[in-house]
Amino acid sequence: MIGWYLRVLHLFLYILLVVLLPYIAYQTTSSSGTLQFALCILLSLLPVVLIRKWNVEREGKPRTLEELRKSASHFEGIKPNEFKLRVRDGYILSGISIGSGPKVILCGNGLGCSSVFAIPLLRQFQGIAILEECTIVSWDYRGLFESAKGTEGMKSPFFSVRDSAEDAIEVLDHLGVKKPVHFIGYSTGVQVGLQLASMYPERVEKLVLVNGAHGQLLHSLLQPLFRIPCLGDFYHKILITFRSYEMYWDYAKQVILAMAFFCSTFIMRPLCVIIQRDYELFAFNYFLEFFEHGKIHSVNYLKYPHALDAHSSYHILHEITHPTLIVTGMLDVLTPAYHSFEMKARMPNAELMCFTLGTHFVLLEYPKEIGKRLFNFLADEELIKEVAKKASAKNRGRSEGKSENRSSKSRSKSRSSPSRKKSNNAALSSPPARSSRRKTKTPETFKADFSSVWSKANPYERS
C-alpha cells in the first residue's frame, strides 16, 4: 500500500520539476537571464539522468518481443511448441503450446498482442512446479501476426468475436483437448472468453477476465468515468478514414515510428524509472508491432475494433454461471473499470480484484498479487496435492543434504579429537533432533505458506 503512494509522489515530483519549476524560474528570474538559463539546463538534465539509470538497469534484459521469445528457453525443461491448423473457412491459425500437464489453460490475447504474451504468465508460475501439471495454450487471432498469412482481401464479417470463439474450440480440438479448460482472457480476450463460455459452457471450467469489456468497446474507449454519447461513432469514422488511405501508409509509418521512438526515449524511460515498471518492453512494443508484421496485419488490425464494438455479452452475463475472477485497474482508460463492475454485478459466480492505481497493464504492474490470486482461484485439490508433494520432496532433499554435511563435519571432528570419538559416533548413529521434528508439507500448509514460496519464485520482484 505504501509503495502505491510513493510512486504517485515520485510522479508528482517529476511533473513538478519538469513543468512547474521552469515556469517559476522564468517568472522569478526574468531580470537575470544567466540564472534562468542555468536552471533550464539543470532541469533538462533530469530526464537524461533517469534515462541513463534505466539503460543500466535494463542491460542484459529483453528489450524487444523477439528477445522475449528467445528468453522462453530459460524455463527449465520447457520449450514452447508452435503449431498451425486450418480452420473451417480455410484460413490458417498459428499458436503455441507450453507444457504437457493434464490441466489446460487457454489464453485469449489482447488486440495487437501475439501469442508470445503467454510467456509472462509462465513466469508467474515458474518455480512452484505448476508448469509440470498444466498445459498453457495460446493462439494468434485470424488475420493477425503469424495468422495473417493468406488473409489478403479477407472481408470484415470474418473478424467477429463469435469467429474467434469458434477458432478457440478448433484449437482445442486440434490439440486433442476434450476436458473443460481454464480460460484466461486479457483485453480483447475478455469478450472472446464471454462468447466462448456462453456458446460452449461444457468446454469451460473457470474464467479469468483481465482488463476487458463485455462489449461495445469503442463506445467506452478513452472514457474512464462515463460513456460520452456519439464518441463511439467518431472512432468508427477515424478508423474507416485510416483504412481508406492505405497508399500513404509507408510515409505515415516513418513519421509515426519516429514520434514513437522519441516518446519512448524521453518520456517512457524516465517514467519507468520513477514507477519501477517495465512499460517500455510491452507498452511500446505493443504499439510497434502494429507496423512490423506487414501491411496485411495492419489492415486487419483496424478491422477488429469495429467487430469488438459490434459485439456485446451484456444481455447474457447472468447466464454465465462459471466461477469467474475479474481483474481490473481504476486507471484503465482503454477498457474502463466500470465494465468490470457491471460484469461483477450481473454474473452470479464472479469475484472482482480491483487495483486503485492499476492501468490497462495490471499483469505487468502487480504480477505478484495477481499470480497468488490466480493460483488460489485456478488450483483444485489435485493440483495443490501435486505441487505440495513436489515442494515437500525438494525440502526433504535439502534437509538430507544438510544432515549429510553435518555428519561429514562430525566425522572430521571425531578423527581430529579421539577423546570425543564415542560421543560423535553416538551422534552419527541417530539423525539430528531438528530433522526428526521437521514436518512434511500438506496441501493445506502449502497453500498457507504460498506467499513465502511465491516471493522466491517470482522473477519480477525487484531486489
Check residue 399 and give its pLDDT: 63
Mean pLDDT of 242-247: 77
Measure the N-to-C terminal CA separation of the chain; round to a whole number of Å.
18
Check residue 415 and give its pLDDT: 55
What value does the CA radius of gyration of the chain take, rounded to a whole number of Å? 27
Spatial separation of the C-alpha atoms in residues 447 and 377, rounded to whole Å? 12
In the chain, how long is the greatest CA-to-CA distance? 95
The H or E element that residue 210 is part of is strand 204-210
Phi (first) and psi of residue 85, to 5 degrees:
-150, 150
How would residue 44 be classed by pLDDT, with cut points 50, 70 and 90?
A: low
Threshold 0.95, pTM exceeds: no
Check residue 297 and give its pLDDT: 86
Positive/negative CA dihedral, 373, 379, 383, 388: positive
Taking only the tens place, the pLDDT of each residue in 441-451 is 454 554 444 44
Check residue 453 and give its pLDDT: 41
Among 15-29, 267-281, 374-388, where is mean pLDDT lowest?
A: 15-29
Taking only the tens place, the pLDDT of each residue in 48-106 is 676 666 666 666 666 665 665 565 544 545 677 889 999 998 889 999 888 778 889 99
Taking only the tens place, the pLDDT of each residue in 183-213 is 999 999 999 999 999 999 999 999 999 999 9
Residue 336 in this model has a pLDDT that exceeds 50: yes
Among 163-167, 268-272, 355-359, where is mean pLDDT lowest?
A: 268-272
Count the Cβ atoms, other than its own, within 10 Å of residue 149. Answer: 15
Q: Which three cell numbers stand for residue 428?
A: 552419527
Residue 334 in this model has a pLDDT that exceeds 50: yes
Mean pLDDT of 133-162: 83
Asked if 377 and 206 touch (Cβ cutoff 8 Å), the reply is yes
- 3-class SS of residue 226: coil
Asked if 278 and 364 touch (Cβ cutoff 8 Å), the reply is yes
- 3-class SS of residue 39: helix
How would residue 145 be classed by pLDDT, with cut points 50, 70 and 90?
A: confident
Residue in this structure with the C-alpha cell 456458446, named with its chain if needed:
199
Spatial separation of the C-alpha atoms in residues 145 and 126, rounded to whole Å? 27
Most confidently modeled range among 35-44, 241-250, 401-410, 423-432 = 241-250
DSSP H helices, 205-280, are 231-244, 249-263, 269-275, 279
Instruction: Give domain 65-379's CATH number out of 1.20.1260.10, 3.30.300.30, 3.40.50.1820, 1.50.10.10.
Output: 3.40.50.1820
Among 89-93, 120-124, 154-158, 375-379, where is mean pLDDT lowest?
A: 120-124
